[in-house]
Amino acid sequence: MEHGSVGAQERENPDPTEVDRPIPWLVLSLVGLLFGWGITYILMQNPKDDPALGDSRTLSTLQAKPAGSPGGAVDGAQIYSAQCVACHQATGAGLPGVFPPLAGSEWVMGSDKVAAAILLHGITGKLTVKGGSYNGQMPAFKDKLNDAEIAAVLSHIRSNFGNAAPKIAPDVVKAEREATRDRKDPWAGDDDLVKLK
């Protein structure tokens, strides 16, 4: 019994003691170097640069090619499916009694000026389209689409859904935007639009 316990004692490891092991100077100096490099890097940046000038594209580069239109041409069909299809439908037939048809519409194929005015400011109140009466809200697009985009979507609806009217130039939209610049409200249906014709 006594013999056995001595054997057990001999097999034990010595008690652990704390030893002084400083961080190696190499590691310390590497950390110091990194720290110094970081500070220098930050100081060498020029924080007074206007962040808007970060990439060197010019305004004209950006304006020449609106998003999503390779080659820079504005695609009326694309604008129609993004902005109009929900109400006027892919066929341009609208929804009876709710959304008026663009197909065969006298407003679409009539005066280019009036068509531009409708897109810029929207319509509210009683509107007659192809003999049918509507009383809904057509949203204004003056803040959503630029002149070229409005011209493109108008040209699209004037030459699709069986319609055949000449294209509309961005200048017509531009002139109409200028002429109605102070307008805040949508056109009041037939009453306002007939006067525009």
Residues forming contacts to ligand HEC in the complex (CB under 6 A) are 83-84, 86-88, 99-102, 105, 107-108, 115, 118-119, 123-125, 127, 129, 134-139, 141, 153, 157, 189
- Tell me the two tokens of residue 15: 């008690």
Phi, psi of 190 (to 5 degrees): -50, -45
Query: How far apart are CB 183 and ligand HEC at their closest, in Å?
Result: 16
Query: How far apart are CB 81 and ligand HEC at their closest, in Å?
Result: 10
**Cα dist. 115→84, 104, 145 in Å?**
14, 14, 14
Query: How far apart are CB 51 and ligand HEC at their closest, in Å?
Result: 34
Query: How far apart are CB 85 and ligand HEC at their closest, in Å?
Result: 8
Nearer of residues 136 and 175 to ligand HEC, judged by Cβ: 136
Query: How far apart are CB 188 and ligand HEC at their closest, in Å?
Result: 8
Which helix H or strand E contains 176, and what residues bound it? helix 170-179
Nearer of residues 6 and 77 to ligand HEC, judged by Cβ: 77
Nearer of residues 139 and 175 to ligand HEC, judged by Cβ: 139
Nearer of residues 128 and 175 to ligand HEC, judged by Cβ: 128
Query: How far apart are CB 73 and ligand HEC at their closest, in Å?
Result: 17
| Structural contact between residues 196 and 113, judged by C-beta atoms closer than 8 angstroms | yes
Sheet containing 123-129, strands listed edge to edge, beginning at the edge strand earlier in sequence: 132-138, 123-129, 187-188
Nearer of residues 65 and 130 to ligand HEC, judged by Cβ: 130
| Structural contact between residues 197 and 110, judged by C-beta atoms closer than 8 angstroms | yes
Phi, psi of 104 (to 5 degrees): 75, 10
Phi, psi of 28 (to 5 degrees): -60, -45
Nearer of residues 74 and 129 to ligand HEC, judged by Cβ: 129
**Closest to 112 measured CA to CA, from 179, 168, 175, 191:** 168
